[in-house]
Every structure is written in structure tokens, then in C-alpha cells.
Amino acid sequence: MRIVVAPDKFRGTVTATECANAIAAPLRARGHEVIVRPMADGGEGTLVALGGANRRTVVSGPLGDPVEAGWRLSAGSAVIEMAAASGLSIVGGADGNDAVAASTHGTGELIAAALDLGASDIVVGVGGSATTDGGLGALRAVYPVHRLRGVRLTVACDVRTTFVDAASVFAPQKGASPAQVQLLGRRLERLVQAYLDEYGVDVSTMTGSGAGGGLAGGLACVGGELVEGFDLVAERLDLDADVERADLVITGEGLLDAESFDGKVVGGVVDMARHFGVPVVAVVGESFDGADDRVPTLSLTGRFGRERAIADTVALLSEAATELVGLAQTGS
């Protein structure tokens, strides 16, 4: 069989690359032709999926501490992942974050570095952030923003949330208390008007403008084109050509739920496979909300137990690989 393995990361346990390779190895040993395509949706892993870092720049982290952030520059095209400069993981998660103070300034510094080196095509992946500053920090770092004239700026969004809603939807995950969520929401409301006054752009109803705590909306004000992160990664990797020629597609992620089918990797891969009439299955860490009814799914937690699924994810992915082929054949 010709099998395409195109998973997302299993957050906190394995990267998309580690996941894909773990599944591919035993399948190749059984004589299958396996095409490995680690995927991302604009969040963590987007940089790796698009070629990986070949430059490192010291910038301001979310709370102002210096951070050495990897990014990519090749033939005038740059790829920047905000998680590398303004990510929640940098501060140790929600418990280590100051949700009100967290800034996207470091991400703006990476954009400025790309501009200084002559980049004319810049992709910014905006998932995995510690921030809800509406992109204000990034715009200040890029100032004067007319430097972006003539530059193709593409913003890869991992969610479809609008600008002000970024506070209520995501700030609690970044450590914000209920009172801080209200404060951040009011701050974003003021930014909507400020951006409209200064740039003539209304971000309030723009789909995806709340991605990255509103960084997507801020970048849209200075010419950024907001696109779904999965679509951008899939297009640049020519994933549809691989899927069209496949006999089976395997995707996956750590947590499968309803949101997995709303602009995320699993939903995107499933839709693409079904468009071409190719069987598709998913391997996940855990499944919720009946999401496994939407695609034949093998849950590591359900198959091996939660403790082993977390501790031995790579080994279990390899162990489960041949089961996935059988799952595709039975459809359940």
C-alpha cells in the first residue's frame, strides 16, 4: 500500500515529526510505501513543517526576558512561529504567565529581523501564544510599519476566533483570572477603535483575527493576509498531490474533540482524503465529545491506558501502526 502519514503534534508528548516517524517505521518494515508529512495548523510545529529553523535571533520573550528564537529565511522567504518568541511554553505554561503583561514584542522583533535581511515574503504562524495584547507589542517592534510595504505578509491562523473574543475564549488558558479576562476584553475593544483610526481597518468581525491573542488582527492592519494555518501548510507541502495518489491516509493528534474539525490538522486531512475518496484513519492520545464518530479512530488511552499513553507515546504509536491499517479496512 501507498500510505501517507500526516499527523499533528501530540502536545506535551511528541512532535508531529516524531509521531509520523514512529508510525511509518513498522509500516515500511512490512513493505508499505510510506510518505511522511508532519503537519501543523499555524501553531507550534508550523516552522518545522515548513523546513525548520536555519536562523536564531535573541528577542524579548512574552514577559520581557531574552529568548533565543529560531526562524527560517530562504531565498527571500521567511517563516516565523510566534510560539518561539511569544509562546506560552516559554514561561512554563499558564502558571508561570502574567496574562495581562504578556507581549508579542518578540514576535515583532523577528519580523523586523526578517525585513532587515531583505525578506519579501513572510509567513507568521500565530498559535501557542502566551499573549492577549492584540498584536500591539509586535507592531511597536516593527515600527515604522511602512517597512512592510511591498512585502507579502501571510498570517497562518490556528483558530477562527474574532478579535475581542480572544480574551474570553483563550485568556483563561493563558492564566488569566475572570477579572483579568474582562480587563483584556476591554483592552481589545479599545484596540479595535485605535486600529480603525490609525490604519482604517476594522478587525472586530474579521475571521481569525483573534488568533495569537489578537496578533492576527494586529498584523491584518498592516497588510497581513489571514489564512487558515492548515491550508497554508498543506499547500506549501503539496499534500493534496500525495493524498490523491495514496491508498490510505493516517492522521492524528494528542486530543481529538469537536474543535479538531474546525480548521485543525485532523479535520483538514480527513476532508482532503475524503475529497479524493481515499480511506483515512486517526490515531490520537485521547478522544472526547464523540469526535471519534467522525473518523475511524484508535485512541492510545483507550487501547493502552492513560498512564502508558503519556509515558510511552512513541513506542505505542509504533505498536499501533499496523492496527491502523486494519482499522481502515474495517472502518471501525
Which whole-number Å values give the CA distances from 325 to 21, 26, 294, in the listed order?
16, 11, 17
Letter for the amino acid at 172?
P
Q: Is the pLDDT of residue 331 over 70?
A: no
Give the start-to-end residue ranges of the domains of the chain: 2-39+238-330, 46-230
Q: Is the pLDDT of residue 142 over 60?
A: yes
DSSP conformational letter for 202: -
Which whole-number Å values give the CA distances from 94 to 12, 40, 91, 259, in the listed order?
14, 22, 8, 21
Distance CA 28, CA 30 (A): 5
Starting at the earlier edge strand, list the strands of the sheet with 33-36.
Answer: 33-36, 2-5, 248-256, 280-287, 297-299
pLDDT at residue 189 in the model: 98
- What CATH number should be reported for the domain whose range is 46-230? 3.90.1510.10
Average pLDDT over residues 70-90: 97
Q: Is the pLDDT of residue 153 over 60?
A: yes
Letter for the amino acid at 292?
D
Average pLDDT over residues 10-29: 95
Distance CA 299, CA 302 (A): 5
Burial of 79 (0-12, 13-18, 19+ CB in 10 A): buried
Distance CA 37, CA 237 (A): 8
The mean predicted confidence, pLDDT, of the chain is 95
Per-residue pLDDT of 234-256, as tens digits, reads 999 999 999 999 999 999 999 99
Average pLDDT over residues 208-235: 97
> Sign of dihedral through CA atoms 75, 217, 60, 146?
positive
Average pLDDT over residues 277-290: 94
pLDDT at residue 259 in the model: 87
pLDDT at residue 251 in the model: 97
Average pLDDT over residues 120-146: 96
Average pLDDT over residues 203-231: 97
pLDDT at residue 327 in the model: 84
Instruction: For the beta carbon of residue 54, count every other beta carbon within 10 angstroms.
Output: 11
DSSP conformational letter for 201: -
Specify the CATH number for 2-39+238-330; select among 3.40.50.10350, 1.10.10.10, 3.40.50.300, 1.10.1060.10. Answer: 3.40.50.10350
Alpha-carbon torsion, ordered 204, 126, 87, 197, to 10 deg: -30
Q: Is 60 helix (H, G, I), strand (E, B) or coil?
A: strand
Which whole-number Å values give the CA distances from 14 to 10, 17, 165, 238, 251, in the listed order?
5, 8, 30, 24, 14
Q: Is the pLDDT of residue 329 over 80?
A: no
CB crowding 300-325: b at 16 or more within 10 Å, else e? bbeebeeeebbeebbebbbebbeebb
CA-based radius of gyration for the chain: 20
pLDDT at residue 48 in the model: 94
Average pLDDT over residues 285-307: 93
Give percent of the chain above pLDDT 70: 99
Q: Is the pLDDT of residue 332 over 70?
A: no
Distance CA 280, CA 269 (A): 8
Beta bridge partners of 252: 283
